[in-house]
Amino acid sequence: MNVRLTIENHVATVTLSRPTAMNAVDLATRDELLAIWSSLEANTDVRVIVLTGEGDRAFCVGADLKEPGRYGLDYWAHPTPGGFGGIALRETLNTPIIARVNGYALGGGFEMVLGADIIVAVEEAKFGLPEPRVGHIPLDGGAVLLQRHIPYRQAMGMLMTGRHISAREALTMGLINEVVPRAELDEAVGRWVKDILACAPTSLRAIKQCARLTSTLTPVEAQRARLPALIAALEAEDSEEGVRAFREKRAPVWSGR
């Protein structure tokens, strides 16, 4: 197994487990990831996902370039569903995703980070899209996502040079949420997980779907959108439970329904 999936207390942890290859994604790893994301989409008991890499060196350095046949026109014509790792451009997973960046996040690894909702990184982390330095293009999400997350000039500066940026630079750009010392990484991620679990799962799924599907609409068009997850949240038991708990001055007990 190149990817480990654990689920405990409504939290799924997806760990890339090829530390000797800096968690590079080969075809077998890609297929494992695709199966995992599909299983998590169907698992309504999971309320938050933590995505990370094994070891202290790398989150993921992208595609395994030692494996033949991964690039070229044929690869462009038959892209990975959902973008790199099956998650960079995935449009059907409404569960919140936290990227726990424990080291280098390069190429496709950076694309996977861009597919997350919240990003927490260690101080030593590096981010970059070095594809042009090896004659390739970040086709699985990087070229289209980066300019939507940070100002155009900064995005093009990274895309057209293949340069790496530090975690602190990424934080200044607004690209990530938090930078912490390595010893505090799990504690920081845990705080985000705790805060997410305190919210209604139905509300969070609706918020994520709304944010994703209305980003190109005008405010009025977005407000009028009748999105499935939003309608489900407004009709959910959790909606009633939240108000009831507020009136009774207690913590809500979410059912996820």
What is the count of structural domains for the chain? 2
What is the DSSP secondary structure assignment for residue 23, as one 8-state letter? T
Burial profile 27-47: b = 16 or more Cβ within 10 angstroms, e = fewer: eebbebbbebbbebeeeeebb
Please report which confidence band the pLDDT of residue 65 belongs to, taking 50, 70 and 90 as the band edges.
Answer: confident
What is the reported pLDDT for 53?
98
Answer yes or no: are the C-beta atoms of 138 and 107 closer than 8 Å.
yes
Q: Are residues 116 and 233 in the same domain?
A: no
Residue 256 domain-assigned?
A: no
Residue 187 domain-assigned?
A: yes
Question: Tens digits of per-residue pLDDT, 79-121?
Answer: 788 999 999 999 999 999 999 999 999 999 999 999 999 999 9
Q: Are residues 184 and 133 in the same domain?
A: yes
Residue 127 domain-assigned?
A: yes
What is the rounded distance in angstroms from the CA atom of residue 1 to the CA atom of residue 205?
A: 29
Q: Are residues 125 and 237 in the same domain?
A: no
Q: Are residues 191 and 213 in the same domain?
A: no
Q: Are residues 134 and 18 in the same domain?
A: yes
Q: Are residues 170 and 209 in the same domain?
A: no
Residue 27 domain-assigned?
A: yes
Tally of residues, the chain: 257
Backbone dihedral region of 71: left (phi > 0), alpha (psi from -120 to 50 degrees) or beta? beta
What is the rounded distance in angstroms from the CA atom of residue 29 to the CA atom of residue 63?
A: 10
Q: Are residues 75 and 17 in the same domain?
A: yes
Question: Tens digits of per-residue pLDDT, 156-191?
Answer: 999 999 999 999 999 999 999 999 999 999 999 999
What is the rounded distance in angstroms from the CA atom of residue 233 to the CA atom of residue 202?
A: 5
Please report which confidence band the pLDDT of residue 69 belongs to, taking 50, 70 and 90 as the band edges.
Answer: low
Residue tagged 């934080």 (tokens): 171
Residue 173 domain-assigned?
A: yes
Select from 153, 178, 196 the last residue of a domain. Answer: 196
Instruction: Find the domain containing 204 and state its range.
Output: 200-247
Given a cut of 70, is residue 30 above it in pLDDT? yes
Please report which confidence band the pLDDT of residue 137 belongs to, taking 50, 70 and 90 as the band edges.
Answer: confident
How many C-beta atoms lie closer than 10 Å to residue 151's C-beta? 11
At 34, which CATH number? 3.90.226.10
Q: Are residues 97 and 221 in the same domain?
A: no
Q: Are residues 100 and 82 in the same domain?
A: yes
What is the DSSP secondary structure assignment for residue 121, as one 8-state letter? E
pTM above 0.85, yes or no: yes
Select from 196, 219, 239 the last residue of a domain. Answer: 196
Q: Are residues 116 and 25 in the same domain?
A: yes
What is the reported pLDDT for 131?
92
Q: Please choose, from the candidates 66, 44, 52, the residue with its C-alpha nearest in 3D space to the C-alpha of residue 23.
A: 52
Q: Are residues 17 and 68 in the same domain?
A: yes
Q: Are residues 96 and 151 in the same domain?
A: yes
Given a cut of 70, is residue 71 above it in pLDDT? no
Select from 176, 196, 216 the last residue of a domain. Answer: 196
Residue 59 domain-assigned?
A: yes
Q: What value does the mean pLDDT take over residues 31-43?
A: 96
Positions marked active-site: 111, 131
Please report which confidence band the pLDDT of residue 72 belongs to, taking 50, 70 and 90 as the band edges.
Answer: low
